[in-house]
Amino acid sequence: MPAPLQPATLTVNDAERVSALWLVPSDARALLVLGHGAGAGMTHPFMAALAEGFAERGIATLRYQFPFMERGTRRPDPPRLAQATVRAAADEAARRQPGLPRFAGGKSFGGRMTSQAQAAEPLAGVRGLVFVGFPLHPPGEPATERAEHLERVAVPMLFLQGTRDALADLALVRQVAERLGTRATLAVLAQADHAFHVPARGGRTDAQVLEELLDASAAWMAGVPAP
């Protein structure tokens, strides 16, 4: 029987509280704190599919809303508030599941805000970061400035990047990973765009890409040693 979703509330600060969802399988061997992207919240079908797929692989998830999404606005939170939200989620994960190896990251904006938080001050007990499509630059404006803070991240990082991602020129992603050395692992998903969709005539399906993404993530997390 699939594990039930468990709703929760996270306190970010005196003024902000956000919704969250736990999915903890009975055989959980790791936990991923998972932030959503800038365009859709934690209940988006892709986020739900990630959580369910991770649960099938023995990985618990804590999904959470950023305050702007909780309020129903389109403008993402300023980095300071977004990073505080990441930290509140990571602290809740440590409090509620202290025995599980913990990882953090997310889709696009959620992953980048997680890495910024980690660069500013390490998230307690987090062994590594998982980027589900790191948004390296705006569409059509290839650059690497958004990755400069990763030099201050000491834990291992997994980059899951599609070859058709308009927000992450693959050659530049490779350069970033090379600069980070052994801290970075790059998993390339052929034909996938930033939303991990593939062309209908490309010989692959979105479901296959998702399975590849989940398998790569689970294997990588299993291989990250305890600090």
Per residue in 97-114, pLDDT (tens digit) is 999 999 999 999 999 999
Q: Return d(Cα 88, Cα 31) in angstroms, integer.
A: 15
Gyration radius of the chain's alpha carbons: 16
3-class state of residue 185 by DSSP:
strand
Half-sphere exposure of residue 53, counting CA atoms within 13 Å on the CB side? 19
Q: What is the pLDDT of residues 31-86, one digit of tens each?
A: 999 999 999 999 999 999 999 999 999 999 999 999 999 999 999 999 999 999 99
Arithmetic mean of pLDDT, 169-176:
97
pLDDT of residue 91: 97
Q: Return d(Cα 1, Cα 215) in angstroms, integer.
A: 21
pLDDT of residue 1: 60
Flag the least confident range among 58-72, 154-168, 194-208. Answer: 194-208
Higher per-residue confidence, 185 vs 74: 185
Task: Give the confidence band of 210 by pLDDT, cuts at 50, 70, 90.
Answer: very high
Tally of structural domains, the chain: 1
Q: Residue 211: give the domain boundaries.
A: 5-223
Tally of CB atoms within 10 A around 94? 17
Q: Return d(Cα 106, Cα 111) in angstroms, integer.
A: 4
Q: Return d(Cα 214, Cα 201) in angstroms, integer.
A: 23
| Predicted model pTM | 0.96
Q: What is the mean pLDDT of the chain?
A: 96
For residue 167 the two structure tokens come to 């927000």
Residue type, 139: P
Arithmetic mean of pLDDT, 22-39:
96
For residue 98 the two structure tokens come to 């202290």
Q: How much of the chain exceeds pLDDT 70, in percent?
A: 99
Q: Return d(Cα 16, Cα 13) in angstroms, integer.
A: 5
- Does residue 201 have a pLDDT over 90? no
Q: How much of the chain exceeds pLDDT 90, in percent?
A: 92
Within 36-148, strands assigned E span: 59-64, 102-107, 126-132
Higher per-residue confidence, 43 vs 15: 43
pLDDT of residue 226: 85
Residue type, 122: P
Degrees, nearest 5: CA angle 13-19-23: 125
What CATH number has the domain bearing residue 66?
3.40.50.1820
Q: What share of the chain is helix, strand, coil (3-state, %, to 5)?
A: 40, 20, 40
3-class state of residue 118 by DSSP:
helix
CA-nearest of 104, 97, 20, 125 to 66 is 20
